[in-house]
């Protein structure tokens, strides 16, 4: 039986099985769902066993557990480590969901549920692809290990230490991840770069209490005025970050890189119209796709202070706050970036105002050479199933743990995503296009078969 016929004959069975997993509200960020996260891990372990995987173990961490399994019966063949996550984002606001987030529903060829595309649906495809090859062939053409965590949506807070402690167990020739997207429907892509991340919270305080604007206005510092002035100093009028040292480690865009970005054929006018904008905006001298894929950013994610209620209150606020995140590229060091921003803020604070900074997240950018043999075979696998070979792209988002996998395991990371950017991941009505569920299964099988032709260094 061909693999296409195999998957078609079991499609309803597979989707019903996936729905069982999707019904478990494994929200890692909310403590009241800790039992649900554990239930999702146990469901995964049970399903891996039924699929024919071996040495299945739920490894506890100081947070949510990591599920491991393997199938190591291909001596001399490469070892692939499949990574993914079984935790999901919170679901608020509930009223914006067409159907309940943990009651999977298929509409117009799309599976709606929290976790459908991020990342249970994509992880599930790997399980079913491995199961299919085992049932059809009796063995696998490569050695397989799986490392599926329950904390990706809260920053993989314990996974780096898990990788360090289990380097031998997780040793692999390549890490295979499905947690990214196609360029658009029918246009597969393999991400060769993810931006790093750092974040901070900034506070400005002035007087000991809020003050009456009639009695004190114009004569004392205003925390909101001080904060707004401070934040405005972070960029120049050309969209560049005006912090000394911010661009250290940022590589120049070579003509070849610009050519690769241009191949994506992104229609900026279509993007502008789709977002309801009168104009796009960003660092001068770069296209939209270059800004998102290869340039660093400093963004304000929240600014608040003073009176927020209905009507007017003539008050001079004593405090104001902002949340800042940066997306990083190349060799930018997140700690250096945070320190540079803090130094900039200190040097620009208004007289009479006090600055308070709390540094939070720190993650390096991830990059891989697309000439790597496993990436080339992955691009070929997409081509066989989708009819068009995958393009190599750089993603503006961040998956911080990818850099950890690459650095700790010293293995190339192959980002074979099957989602689409408009599938509302992290938002109400998250869904997964079942066209890519079907094609994804076949693509993974093609990749597994071709990967067996690459020499191994891990066993």
Query: What CATH number does the domain containing 340 carry?
Result: 3.30.70.360
The answer on pLDDT for 175 being more than 80 is yes
Mean pLDDT for the stretch of residues 322-327: 97
Two tokens, residue 451: 């990967």
Tally of structural domains, the chain: 2
Is 74 part of any domain?
A: yes
Last residue of a domain, one of 340, 363, 386: 363
- The pLDDT assigned to 203 comes to 98
pLDDT attached to residue 147: 98
Q: What are the φ/ψ torsions at residue 414 (nearest 5 degrees)?
A: -105, 110
Please determine, for residue 164, whether its predicted confidence score (pLDDT) is greater than 90. Answer: yes
Q: Which residue's structure tokens are 């990083």?
A: 328
Give the closest residue to 71 by CA, choosing from 85, 89, 87, 52. Answer: 52
Q: Which residues contact 203 (CB under 8 A, 6 or more apart)?
A: 319, 320, 321, 322, 355, 356, 357
**Confidence (pLDDT) at 457:** 59
Among 168, 187, 149, CA closest to 390: 187
Rounded to whole angstroms, the Cα distance separating 27 from 41 reads: 12
Single out the residue in 328, 363, 398 at which a domain terminates: 363
φ, ψ (nearest 5 deg) of residue 430: -55, 140
pLDDT higher than 80, residue 16: yes
Q: Are 315 and 211 in contact (CB under 8 A)?
A: yes
* Domain around 239: 196-250+296-363
Residue range 235-247, pLDDT digits in tens: 999 999 999 999 9
Per-residue pLDDT of 414-449, as tens digits, reads 999 999 989 999 999 999 999 999 999 999 999 999
Helix (H, G, I), strand (E, B) or coil at 12: helix
Which tens digits make up the pLDDT trace of 35-94?
Answer: 999 999 999 999 999 999 999 999 999 999 999 999 999 999 999 999 999 999 999 999
Q: Is the pLDDT of residue 459 over 70?
A: no
| pLDDT value for 88 | 98
Whether 71 and 127 share a structural domain: yes
| Angle at the Cα of 98 from the Cα atoms of 97 and 99, rounded to 5 degrees | 90
Residues 318 and 387 in one domain: no
Q: Which tens digits make up the pLDDT trace of 122-161?
A: 999 999 999 999 999 999 999 999 999 999 999 899 999 9
Instruction: Return the exposure string of 121-148: e unless at least 16 CB atoms fall within 10 Å of the residue's CB, then b.
Output: bbbbbbbbbbbbbbeeeeebbbbbbbbb
pLDDT tens profile 381-420:
999 999 999 999 888 888 888 989 999 999 999 999 999 9
Residue 67's DSSP bridge partners are 58, 148
């Amino acid at each position: 039986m061909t693999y296409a016929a195999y998957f078609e004959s079991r499609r309803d069975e597979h989707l019903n099985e996936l729905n069982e997993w999707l019904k478990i509200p494994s929200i890692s960020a909310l403590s009241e769902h800790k039992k649900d996260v554990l239930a999702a891990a146990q469901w995964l372990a049970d399903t891996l066993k039924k699929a024919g995987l071996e040495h299945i173990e739920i490894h506890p961490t100081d947070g949510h557990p990591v599920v491991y399994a393997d199938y190591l019966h291909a001596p001399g063949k490469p070892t692939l480590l499949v990574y993914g996550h079984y935790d999901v984002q919170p679901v608020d606001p509930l009223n914006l969901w067409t159907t309940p987030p943990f009651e999977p529903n298929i509409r117009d060829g799309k599976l709606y549920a929290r976790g459908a595309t991020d990342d249970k649906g994509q992880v599930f495809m790997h399980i079913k692809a491995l199961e299919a090859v085992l049932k059809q062939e009796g063995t696998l053409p490569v050695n397989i290990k799986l490392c599926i965590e329950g904390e990706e949506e809260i920053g993989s807070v314990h996974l780096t230490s898990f990788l360090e402690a289990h380097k031998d167990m997780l040793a692999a020739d390549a890490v295979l991840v499905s947690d990214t997207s196609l360029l658009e429907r029918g246009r597969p892509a393999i991400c060769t770069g993810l931006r790093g991340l750092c974040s901070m919270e900034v506070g400005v305080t002035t007087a000991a209490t809020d003050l009456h604007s009639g009695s004190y206005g114009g004569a004392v510092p205003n925390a909101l005025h001080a904060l707004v002035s401070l934040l405005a100093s972070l960029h120049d009028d050309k969209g560049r970050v005006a912090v000394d040292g911010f661009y250290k480690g940022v590589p120049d865009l070579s003509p070849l890189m610009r050519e690769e970005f241009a191949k994506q054929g992104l229609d900026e006018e279509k993007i502008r119209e789709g977002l309801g904008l009168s104009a796009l905006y960003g660092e001068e001298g770069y296209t939209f796709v270059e800004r998102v894929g290869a340039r660093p950013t400093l963004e304000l994610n929240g600014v608040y202070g003073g009176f927020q209620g209905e009507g007017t209150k003539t008050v001079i606020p004593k405090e104001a706050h902002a949340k800042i995140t940066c997306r990083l590229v190349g060799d930018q060091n997140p700690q250096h970036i945070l320190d540079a921003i803090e130094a900039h803020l200190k040097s620009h604070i208004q007289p009479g105002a006090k600055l308070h900074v709390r540094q939070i997240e720190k993650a390096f950018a991830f990059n891989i050479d697309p000439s790597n043999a496993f990436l080339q075979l992955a691009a070929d696998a997409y081509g066989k199933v989708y009819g068009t070979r995958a393009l190599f792209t750089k993603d503006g988002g961040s998956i911080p743990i990818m850099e950890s996998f690459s650095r700790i395991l010293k293995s190339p990371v192959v980002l074979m995503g099957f989602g689409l950017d408009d599938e509302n991941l992290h938002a109400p009505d998250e869904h997964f296009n079942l066209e890519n569920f079907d094609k994804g299964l076949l693509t993974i099988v093609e990749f597994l078969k071709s990967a067996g032709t690459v020499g191994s260094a891990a066993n």
